[in-house]
Structure 1
Amino acid sequence: MSLKHPSVEEFGRLAAELQAADGVELTVETVVQFALQAVWCDYAAVVLITKGRRPQIMALTDPRLADLYRHQIDAGAGPMITALDERSPLLIPDVAAETRWSPQWSEQMLAAGIRSAVHLPLLVAGRPEAVLALYSIKPDAFSGDDLDIAHILAQHGSAAIDSARRVDTLTQAVDARRLVGQAMGILMERHDLDEMRAFEVLRRYSMDSNRKLRDVAQELIETRKLPSTHRARSRIPGH
C-alpha cells in the first residue's frame, strides 16, 4: 500500500494538468500515470467508449494489458464490461478466487501476474464514457483508503474526459466549417455560383455519395474536382 496518498494540493495540480492536456488521448494518459502514484497499484489503464458504444483501449501503463482487454471486448464479457453495464465500481480482491467470469479470463489474468483489480466507470451525466482500471500483482492489495482515492481520481477523470471531448467536437466543427467554406469558394469562382447554390452542390454530392459534407469538401479542395462517380446525378445548377 502507498505510504502516503496524494494531498489536496497534488490533486489540485492533477486538475490543472488535465485542464491543460491537449485532447482526449493526452487526458487519459495523464489519468493513468497519476493513478500509479496515487493508489497502490502496479498497472493502470483507461478504456474509452466510442460513439458506437464499443470500448476502445486508450491508455495502458503496460502493453501486456492490451490482450486482456481485447479478449473482453471481443467476448463482450468480463469485469470491464460488467462495470460499464452496472455503472458502478467493481472490486476483485483475488483473481484466483474469482468465479463471476469465464475460467479463460482468470487464467489470462493470472498468467499476466495480476492478482487483484478495481474497475471504476467514468460517468458523464450518469452515462459511462470510460473505465479506469487499477491492477496489482498481490491479492487483496486495495485498502479502503486506496479505493477512496481511486474514486476521487475517477471523478477528476470523468470531468476531464468530458471537457476534452467537447473541445475535440468543437475543433472538428470549426475545421469542417472552414473546409466547406473553402470548397464553396472554389465552386463559386469556377462556376459563377452564389453561396446558396455552391452549398447546395456540396450537399447533393454528400447525399448522393453517402459521405460527410466535410469529406466531400476536402476532396474538392485537394483534387479541384467533385467525385466523378456521382457527377451525372448531381449536376451543377445552370451547367
Structure 2
Amino acid sequence: MPADHGALPPDTASRIAEIAHHAAAELPGADYVNVTVTSGQYGIDTPASTHPWAERIDAIQRRHREGPCVSSSRQPHPVHVEDLTLETRWPRFRAEALDSTPVRSIMGFPLFVNGESMGTLNVFAERPHAFGERTRQLGSLFADHVALVCEAARRESQFQEALASRDIIGQAKGMIMERYSMDADQAFEMLRQLSRNANVPLAEVAAKIIEAAQANRR
C-alpha cells in the first residue's frame, strides 16, 4: 500500500515540475507527462503536469480509484498501456478516459525509495503504441530523479519536525523544573512517565503542558 506523503513543499513541487517538463521533451513518443504523489490507499495528488489532459487522467483515476497510475504506485515495475482502446484492466477508468481525453498510450513509472512507494511519473501519448524500450529506460531514470527529490523533501520535513519537537520538549521541561524545583533529568523523567501513562507521544504531552501553562497566565 502506498504511504501517506501529503502535500509537497513549494520548492520541491517546482523541482518536480522542471523534471516533468524535461521528461516530456526528452522521452520518445511522449506528448505530455505528469507526476502523481500517493497518499493512503487511493489518494492521488498531482504536483506537476505538462498538459491539462494529463491532469484529467488523474482526476478520472481519483474518481474511480483505479487506473494505470494507481496500479503503478503499488508495484516495482512500470505499467504500460499500449492502446487504451484495447485495455481491459480498469474498465471504469478506460471508458471515461476514452470518452473525455485523446490519450491512447500510457506508461507509469513507480517512484520507489528504500522499498517505499512515493507515487508515479506518468507519460502519455495521443497515438497507440507510442512507447518502446528506449522510453522505458529513460523514463525509469527520470522517475528515479523524481523519487530522490521527494525523499529529500521527506527527510527535510522529518528533520524540521524533530527540531520543533525538541524545542517543545525543552520548553515544557523548563516549566516543570521551575514549578516543581526539579533538575533537568527529573523533569524529563516526569515527562516520559506522563507520556507512557497517557500513551501519547512525548512531544504531544509537552505541548499540552505548555498550552495549560499559557492558559493559566491569561
TM-score norm. by structure 2 comes to: 0.74
Q: Which residues in structure 2 correspond to 1:16-55 (within 5 Å)?
A: 25-39=13-27, 40-48=30-38, 50=39, 55=43
Question: Aligned with 2:182: secondary structure?
Answer: coil
Pairwise CA RMSD of aligned residues? Answer: 3.0
Aligned match of 1:110: 98
Q: Deviation digits for residues 16-58 of structure 1, max 9, x if unmatched?
A: xxxxx8765455444434433333233412223x5x6765425
1:153 is displaced (CA, Å) by: 0.5
Q: Distance in 2 between matches of 1:93 and 1:33?
A: 22
Q: Distance in 1 between matches of 2:214 and 2:194?
A: 12
Change (3 A) 1:195 1:127: same
Letter of the 2:25 counterpart = Q
TM-score norm. by structure 1 comes to: 0.69
Q: Distance in 1 between matches of 2:202 and 2:11?
A: 24
Q: Which residues in structure 2 correspond to 1:127-206 (within 5 Å)?
A: 127-206=116-195
1:88 is displaced (CA, Å) by: 0.4
Aligned match of 1:18: none
Q: Which residues in structure 2 correspond to 1:52-91 (within 5 Å)?
A: 55-61=43-49, 62=52, 63-71=55-63, 75=65, 77-91=66-80
Task: State the identity as a percent.
Answer: 26
Q: Is the 8 A contact 2:34 2:46 kept in 1?
A: no
Question: Aligned with 1:138: secondary structure?
Answer: coil
Q: Structure 1, unaligned stretches of length 5 or more?
A: 1-20, 227-239
Q: Structure 2, unaligned stretches of length 5 or more?
A: 1-8
Question: Aligned with 2:109: secondary structure?
Answer: strand
